[in-house]
């Protein structure tokens, strides 16, 4: 094969890979909850493909799904061991859009509304549980294929997915709540916060609301979760009221949320999860590493 043939083969392989890139990113983001880790996982899949005997690959899409699954499994195991001493709440890296600023790639990631609340729950699963649940329940990958990725039997893979499903069942995820209803509740929350109205704030919060904050692994402001409407309202008014005037509406992973800060200089992202007709969860992200991409969206 001459140089021209080699170049054509490389170009063909790159084109085939690009056709599957969006699918791989969707899988990896649900596995990892981090855009930077997602891109690393997809890049590793490309490196492995470039070294593989492509002629022996019968189903490229299935092969890449398996590879990304294995890469994510390794990354989750390594990350879990590093996170044992994490102070406060670890929250996923959000996908934030303001005024239709989403890229086509980001739109694909949030097309089926994978909110932060679901990603937070997925963080409580073991790596194998998460792989089994995400691949089977979200992407219809067979348990035979999942078994090959996690190194267990198909029966064990099925049990892992079932165990994960039980952990997720009953958690409010805003899935069936119209975005206009979500925005109405968030607007009422912001109005009460700006006015310092404790009773009005409690009125929009679910009785069992949980407030989580991720300030980063080295922040002195790291705190554990706060639960209960009155306790959360007190925390919001004590620490958040000065910043309420800087909050601007945004979509956070497809749901109603806010970006706090001046255009181009965000200091926080807040995601809201709706439980019935109240706010069931508030997730505050101030970790600078997770806000870096926001400078480009305003």
E strands, 72-201, are 96-97
**CA dist 69 → 2, 44, 60, 178, 180 (Å):** 35, 11, 14, 32, 36
From the candidate CATH numbers 2.40.30.330, 3.90.1640.20, 3.10.450.50, 1.10.10.10, the one assigned to the domain spanning 179-296: 3.10.450.50
- Residue 296, pLDDT score: 55
Structure tokens at 196: 């310092």
- Residue 4, pLDDT score: 47
Q: Is 248 left (phi over 0), alpha (psi -120 to 50) or beta?
A: beta
- Residue 5, pLDDT score: 53
Per-residue pLDDT tens digits for 114-146: 778 888 889 889 999 999 999 999 999 999 999
Residue 152 gets which letter from DSSP?
Answer: S
Per-residue pLDDT of the chain (298 residues; tens, 9 = 90+): 454 455 577 788 889 899 999 999 999 999 999 989 999 999 999 999 988 887 778 889 999 999 999 999 999 998 876 665 666 678 899 988 876 555 566 555 555 557 788 888 898 899 999 999 999 999 999 999 999 999 999 999 999 999 999 988 866 665 567 888 899 999 999 999 999 999 999 999 999 999 999 988 776 666 789 999 999 999 999 988 888 888 999 989 888 899 999 877 889 999 999 888 899 999 999 998 888 877 555 5
- Residue 84, pLDDT score: 59
Structure tokens at 60: 């490229």
Strands 205-214 and 278-285, sheet pairing: parallel
Protein fold of 3-98+126-168 = Butyryl-CoA Dehydrogenase, subunit A; domain 3 (1.20.140)
d(CA 134, CA 143): 12
Q: Considering the entire predicted model, what is its pTM?
A: 0.83
CATH 1.20.140 domain residues, the chain = 3-98+126-168
Rounded to 10 deg, the angle between the 154-168 and 143-150 helix axes is 100
Per-residue pLDDT tens digits for 242-260: 888 889 999 898 888 999 9
If we measure between CA atoms, which residue out of 285, 261, 297 comes closest to residue 33?
Answer: 285
CATH 3.10.450.50 domain residues, the chain = 179-296
């Amino acid at each position: 094969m001459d140089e021209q043939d080699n170049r054509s083969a490389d170009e063909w392989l790159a084109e085939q890979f690009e056709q599957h890139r969006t699918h791989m990113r969707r899988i990896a983001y649900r596995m990892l909850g981090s855009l930077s880790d997602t891109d690393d996982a997809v890049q590793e899949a490309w490196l492995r493909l470039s070294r593989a005997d492509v002629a022996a690959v019968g189903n490229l899409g299935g092969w890449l799904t398996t590879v990304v699954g294995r890469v994510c499994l390794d990354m989750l195991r390594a990350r879990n061991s590093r996170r044992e001493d994490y102070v406060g709440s670890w929250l996923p890296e959000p996908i934030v859009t303001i005024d239709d600023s989403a890229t086509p790639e980001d739109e694909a990631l949030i097309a089926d509304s994978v909110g932060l609340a679901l990603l937070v729950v997925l963080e409580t699963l073991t790596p194998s549980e998460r792989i089994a649940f995400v691949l089977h329940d979200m992407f219809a990958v067979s348990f035979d294929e999942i078994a090959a990725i996690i190194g267990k039997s198909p029966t064990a893979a099925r049990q892992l997915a079932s165990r994960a499903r039980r952990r997720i069942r009953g958690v409010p995820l805003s899935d069936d709540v119209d975005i206009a209803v979500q925005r109405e509740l968030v607007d009422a929350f912001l109005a009460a916060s700006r006015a310092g109205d404790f009773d009005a704030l409690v009125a929009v919060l679910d009785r069992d609301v949980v407030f989580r904050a991720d300030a980063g692994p080295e922040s002195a402001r790291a705190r554990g979760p706060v639960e209960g409407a009155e306790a959360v309202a007190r925390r919001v008014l004590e620490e958040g009221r000065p910043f309420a005037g800087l909050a601007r509406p945004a979509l956070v992973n497809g749901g109603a949320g806010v970006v706090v800060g001046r255009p181009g200089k965000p200091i926080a992202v807040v995601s809201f999860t709706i439980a019935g007709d109240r706010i069931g969860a508030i997730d505050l992200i101030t970790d600078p590493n997770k806000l870096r991409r926001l400078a480009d969206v305003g």
